[in-house]
Structure 1
Amino acid sequence: MLQFFTGAPVFDGECIREDIGVAVDDGVVLALRSADEIPEGAHVVRLDPSAVLAPGFLDLQINGAGGVLFNAEPTADTAIHIAKSVRCHGVTRILPTLITDCKETLASACQTIGEAAEDEMSGVLGIHVEGPFISVERKGIHKPSYIRVPEEEDLVRLAELSLALRQNGARLLLTIAPENVPDDAIARFAQSGVVVSAGHTAASYERIHEAIANGVTGFTHLGNAMPAIQNREPGPVAAALASRDTWCGLIVDGHHIHPGLMKVMLAAKPEGKVFLVTDAMPPVGTDMQSFELYGQTIHRSGGRLVSSQGVLAGADIDMANAVRNCTTLLDLPLSEALRMASLYPAGHLGLDNRFGRIAPGYTADFALITKDVEPLETFVAGRSVWKRSEV
């Protein structure tokens, strides 16, 4: 069906354009044209003139939302529920994230995620497997008894999953600690199309660069579950900042990383290499005050999610708030904050030719937001999938 979105300024991924309409055909952007040049036969979608039509947000690290946790039941239905739960925050595509768990849970997630990724309208863009191949020393909330090195079975399973997901334009993102995964394993993952990221790691500066040479292309929640930079042992954070070609995920909630350090990170990396993640958990989008993880209660308190021992367990933030925090905490222009939530994560996955812009040939995933980044309506492949109630 031919559609024409008109009435609101359009952020096309580069700048905000006035008096522009967006022609969409069969879920793909056909053209941007003058707002009064309505294509013949098009269904006109009238937008709030006080809002901005922006590319839909991508969240590459989301453990749960809407009251559910992907680890608790790693099925296609759970992944789709999480994706639907964050549409009210302008998010159109996610990688449901499986944190360190037993072999059976990992196998179950790998077996079921393809079903969700096959459906373009699901919003599920693959899977993020965060562990179990990480550092016990830098485990964070991850359960240490599940942490291990990859075995041949893991290499085969994840390679096959990556290849299968790529056939549907989806991705497998894998977080590892390079000190616990040999170079040949990293290379095998990368060769099969796995997007390999370093996280929950205490690896040396030198080891990180060895891992990058073998296929690591990113860093998971930079600065968290990593040692602090020291003058003679700069470690993974400094290695990430010194590497010009790698991407870094960042949790901009004001709790995980001090805003001053985040400004330094942004100044150090080339433009386009830092993207937003939420690391969200089940309470996001609900009034839940606690949830269960690994048999322990995680409490919601003061904008944080913490165990009884005070260990951070994911984050209590949605993507719209993360974008807003970029403008208020980090003094970034709205255009850059929007790119950090859309174009840049798409770039990390190698999908920035499909997502992150409103341009011909791109999927018509849109977030209609106020200039204060309050979502009003969300569109997946041109279809309205959530709209704020007028009440």
Structure 2
Amino acid sequence: MARKIFTGARIFDGQRFHDDRALIVSDGRVEAIIAGNDLPDGEHIALEGGVLSAGFIDAQVNGGGGRMLNDEPSAASMYMIAAGHRPYGTTALLPTLITDTSTATAAAVEAAKDAVTSNKGVAGLHLEGPHLAPARKGAHLAELMRPVEDADVKALISAKQSIGTLLVTMAAEQVTPRQVRELSEAGVTVSIGHSDCTSEAAEERFDAGARGVTHLFNAMSQLGHRAPGLVGAAIDHPSVWCGIIADGHHVDPKALRTALRAKRGEGRLFFVTDAMSLVGSERDSFTLNGRTVRRERGGFCSKLVLSDGTLAGSDVDMASTIRYGVTYLDLSLAEALRMATLYPARFLHLDDRGHLVPGARADLVHLTDDIKVTRTWISGEAA
């Protein structure tokens, strides 16, 4: 693969900006960031201002490009979802299966085994259910929810060994600390979510190895001054990472700003979209588990609701969440970019993604000064 030299844009390496520099890519990986006055031979890609960053990483994507993973849990669906989000800067994502039958779950696992080898933007799989709490079901089907059994632990560990990156969302009520420890020690990333647990129950699972919390504030026990709930435990625990949906509908910006200021330790808040199939589509409705989800336009972006008004995922893309972070959450552009790149990469142990350092994958996005995506590259190839 020929060397590529990217010039003309500010380069964000995951920690800081580089001005008047060039990004050198060789064999699909970052070679160096160098001064722009002594460039090596190779294919020159001249960018007209803006920012060149690592591509966005989304750990929770139910659908996109007109397809929901639950509709057809296949590798083809995963590619379609990834392609639907690529125009918005996402170069790696976890297709997400929400609570469904064991047959659908098994099909999603098999599909992911193939999809992760394709270099088409599928980085792993997220199973959001069926081990959730009916009391905090959100838009999931409560009748399919159940506790984790030891056979499930074995199946998930086997799936992780085949897929590589496997994220599972579980309610604290449905999984024991011993099961969390066994999963975590085998490399499965456990996230607590859709849970009505106490802060003490959450902390037990965090201490056992649960690494994250799924869409902080949504579908979980809230922060009270005597009962901190899952929200309070997640913000206070130093090792826990928290996905957030920044779309103007799921969480009030005052709550997100408070959480951003309060979060302590290595664990950080990072952006997820929780996107549904309508992202990138002009359609105004789709079907989820036999129920109609409709798009209500207005606000920072549209929202998606069931007939009873329950939020059903989001209609936001990752570039929009970065704009939201800068506009409404008092984030610097650097921190907003980290929340879409470096932080999700660290959470998922995708160590060669999310930053532009020598040896990292050359998954790239070019943004205008007003945070609109112009182009993307996967392993240095235009995507």
Name 2:275's counterpart in structure 1: 280
Match of 1:298 among 293, 297, 300: 293
Name 1:77's counterpart in structure 2: 76
Q: CA deviation at 1:217?
A: 0.8
Unaligned runs of 5+ in 1: 386-391
The yes-or-no answer on 1:237 pairing with 2:231 is: yes
Distance 1:109 1:294 in 2: 16
Cα offsets for 1:319-361 (capped at 9, x unmatched)? 000000001111211110000000000010112x311111111
Q: CA deviation at 1:37?
A: 2.0
State the AA in 2 paired with 1:62. Answer: V
The yes-or-no answer on 1:180 pairing with 2:204 is: no
Give SS of 1:379's match: strand
Give SS of 1:314's match: strand
Q: CA deviation at 1:165?
A: 2.2
Alignment RMSD: 1.1
Contact map agreement 1:7 1:35 (CA 8 A) in 2: no
Name 2:360's counterpart in structure 1: 362
Contact map agreement 2:198 2:221 (CA 8 A) in 1: no
The yes-or-no answer on 1:98 pairing with 2:110 is: no
Contact map agreement 1:319 1:341 (CA 8 A) in 2: yes
Cα offsets for 1:162-200 (capped at 9, x unmatched)? 12223xxxx100000011111221112112110000000
Cα offsets for 1:81-120 (capped at 9, x unmatched)? 111111100110000000000111011111121100012x
State the AA in 1 paired with 2:50. Answer: A
Distance 1:272 1:338, change over 3 A: farther
Name 1:220's counterpart in structure 2: 214
Distance 2:31 2:317 in 1: 30
Give SS of 1:122's match: coil
- Written as runs of structure 1 = structure 2, the 5 A alignment for 1:134-213 is 134-166=132-164, 171-213=165-207
Contact map agreement 2:126 2:167 (CA 8 A) in 1: yes
Name 1:263's counterpart in structure 2: 257
Contact map agreement 1:272 1:340 (CA 8 A) in 2: no
TM-score, structure 1 length as denominator?
0.95
State the AA in 1 paired with 2:16. Answer: C
Q: CA deviation at 1:272?
A: 6.0
Provide the aligned length of Structure 1 versus Structure 2.
377
Distance 1:98 1:332 in 2: 31
Contact map agreement 2:366 2:376 (CA 8 A) in 1: yes
Match of 2:126 among 125, 128, 136: 128
State the AA in 2 paired with 1:58. Answer: I
Give SS of 1:300's match: strand
Name 1:340's counterpart in structure 2: 339
Cα offsets for 1:270-300 (capped at 9, x unmatched)? 3761100000000011101000001010010
Distance 2:69 2:51 in 1: 32
Contact map agreement 2:6 2:22 (CA 8 A) in 1: yes
Distance 2:113 2:231 in 1: 33
State the AA in 1 paired with 2:374. Answer: L
Further displaced range: 209-218 or 182-191: 182-191
Name 1:388's counterpart in structure 2: none
Match of 2:369 among 347, 368, 371: 371
Contact map agreement 2:238 2:267 (CA 8 A) in 1: no
Name 1:18's counterpart in structure 2: 19
State the AA in 1 paired with 2:276. Answer: M
Give SS of 1:187's match: helix
The yes-or-no answer on 1:31 pairing with 2:23 is: no
Further displaced range: 186-195 or 305-314: 186-195
Contact map agreement 2:242 2:267 (CA 8 A) in 1: no
Further displaced range: 300-309 or 223-232: 223-232
Give SS of 1:275's match: strand
TM-score, structure 2 length as denominator?
0.97
Cα offsets for 1:54-87 (capped at 9, x unmatched)? 1100000000011100011011110111111111
Unaligned runs of 5+ in 2: none
Give SS of 1:226's match: coil
Distance 2:235 2:148 in 1: 27
Distance 1:192 1:117 in 2: 19
Name 1:247's counterpart in structure 2: 241
State the AA in 1 paired with 2:47. Answer: L
Distance 2:56 2:283 in 1: 24
Q: CA deviation at 1:215?
A: 1.2
